[in-house]
Amino acid sequence: MEVTIKTKGNYDFIDITAQVAEAVEASNINSGVAVVFVVGSTAALTTMEYESGVLADLTQVLEKLAPTDYDWQHHLKWGDSNGAAHIKAALIGPDLSIPIENGQLSLGTWQQIVLIDFDEKPRQRKVIIKILSD
């Protein structure tokens, strides 16, 4: 299945755990894996404790690694200004594989599935969710 998520860009963190859990429930699978993938090269998926402190801390770390305000080669090549977004998305990655046991995602209590949009403007993101049985 696919879900479309509206984002604001610029480090927009969106908890999509409920959407993935719904896909697992709809599949009626007892044991398997949920593969989650975001389409696009300036957004990423990870798991984290979804609370404002962690979001601020991860933003700070990524901004040190790949500052938004920098002369990225990508800007020269395409006239784009989202070079940092591409780097951050590549560092975090576009996909997750989450085991399913007893019909449930095997997530920790403080572990949410989070879509991060690094691009510089609002986007509509397509997230593909595949539920595979053992």
If the CB atoms of residues 79 and 108 are measured against Zn ion, the closer one turns out to be: 79
If the CB atoms of residues 78 and 110 are measured against Zn ion, the closer one turns out to be: 78
Q: Radius of gyration of the chain from Cα atoms?
A: 16
Residue 57's CB is within 10 A of a number of other CB atoms, namely 11
If the CB atoms of residues 63 and 80 are measured against Zn ion, the closer one turns out to be: 80
Q: Cβ of residue 86: shortest distance to Zn ion, in angstroms?
A: 6
The SS3 of residue 15 is strand
Dist CA 128 CA 134 (whole Å): 19
| Count of residues near Zn ion by CB under 5 A | 2
At 99, list the tokens.
Answer: 């085991």
Question: Which residues 58-97 are close enough to bind Zn ion by CB under 5 A?
Answer: 80, 82
Shortest-Cβ-distance residue relative to Zn ion: 80
If the CB atoms of residues 18 and 91 are measured against Zn ion, the closer one turns out to be: 91
Bridge partners (DSSP) of residue 97 are 35
Q: Cβ of residue 16: shortest distance to Zn ion, in angstroms?
A: 23
**If we measure between CA atoms, which residue out of 106, 123, 109 comes closest to residue 10?**
123
What is the contact surface with Zn ion in residues (CB under 5 A)?
80, 82
